[in-house]
Amino acid sequence: GENVEQHPSTLSVQEGDSAVIKCTYSDSASNYFPWYKQELGKGPQLIIDIRSNVGEKKDQRIAVTLNKTAKHFSLHITETQPEDSAVYFCAAEAGNMLTFGGGTRLMVKP
Amino acid sequence: NAGVTQTPKFQVLKTGQSMTLQCAQDMNHEYMSWYRQDPGMGLRLIHYSVGAGITDQGEVPNGYNVSRSTTEDFPLRLLSAAPSQTSVYFCASSYSGTSEQQFFGPGTRLTVL
């Protein structure tokens, strides 16, 4: 089955700095790669996603890049704000199932 | 729309007890799934359903049963609870499958003593 590795597990940045979270996947058949944000005590919420026919996608301060050859994708958050503090999960889709990475706890220090 | 609802929010069980975690959605979504979340391990898929009457196993199905008699409801049954099933359980749904946004419920925190 699919295996998704996510790094780093924790990330601390100063407000206004950029944050980058990286994921690798194993199944070359995966074609959909979403990113979820989970705030304390809540369920995950989709923040951005990318499909295999696209190399990069942006939405305001958030961007995701995908390298299908290398089987890795990354989340970039620019101009971080305290409200970006949360746990972020990457995922890869294959065969009616989503496989999630282990999560990254992002802390943005004011 | 209420979205995805889960009950109960918290539950404590003794080893060997059984219980059902409830999940319901009012968005007419065909795809529903159950995940468990353990520290440092992300979300792991337990079971999923692509429509009423159809269920399948995910990554960690042992010890759990599901059924899908209606589009709206997707209950998760623990037949004989074990301490290893202590976790936070999330139900999720989407319109048709996994290549689109999943809507997650608020979760159920389960402790098995």
Q: Give all strands (DSSP E) within chain A, no chain letters.
A: 4-7, 10-14, 19-25, 32-38, 45-51, 56-59, 62-67, 72-77, 86-94, 97-100, 104-109
From CA B105, how far away is CA B99, in angstroms rounded? 18
Share of chain A above pLDDT 70, in %: 100
pLDDT confidence of residue B39: 82
Tokens representing B57?
Answer: 């196993």
Tokens representing A66?
Answer: 């995908």
Residue A101 to residues A44, A73, B55, Cα–Cα distance (Å): 13, 12, 24
Count Cβ atoms within 10 A of the Cβ of residue A86 and give its class: 0-12 exposed, 13-18 middle, 19 or more buried: buried
Specify the range with the lowest mean pLDDT, choosing from A79-88, A94-103, B62-71: A94-103
Q: Which positions in chain A touch B93 (Cβ < 8 Å)?
A: none
pLDDT tens-digit profile of A60-71? 999 999 999 999
CA distance B20 to chain A (A): 19
pLDDT tens-digit profile of B34-66? 999 998 778 999 999 999 999 999 999 999 999
Q: Any idea what DSSP says for residue B102?
A: P
pLDDT at A89 over 80: yes
* Residue ranges in chain B modelled with pLDDT below 70: none
Coil, helix or strand at residue B85:
helix
pLDDT at A29 over 80: yes
A100 touches B: beta carbon within 8 Å: yes
pLDDT confidence of residue A95: 85
Contacts with B77 (C-beta within 8 Å, 6 or more apart), sequence order: B18, B19, B20, B21, B64, B65, B66, B67
Under an 8 Å CB criterion, which residues of B touch A?
A: 4, 31, 33, 35, 40-45, 48, 50, 56, 58-59, 90, 92, 97-102, 104-107
pLDDT tens-digit profile of A38-82? 999 999 999 999 999 889 999 999 999 999 999 999 999 999 999
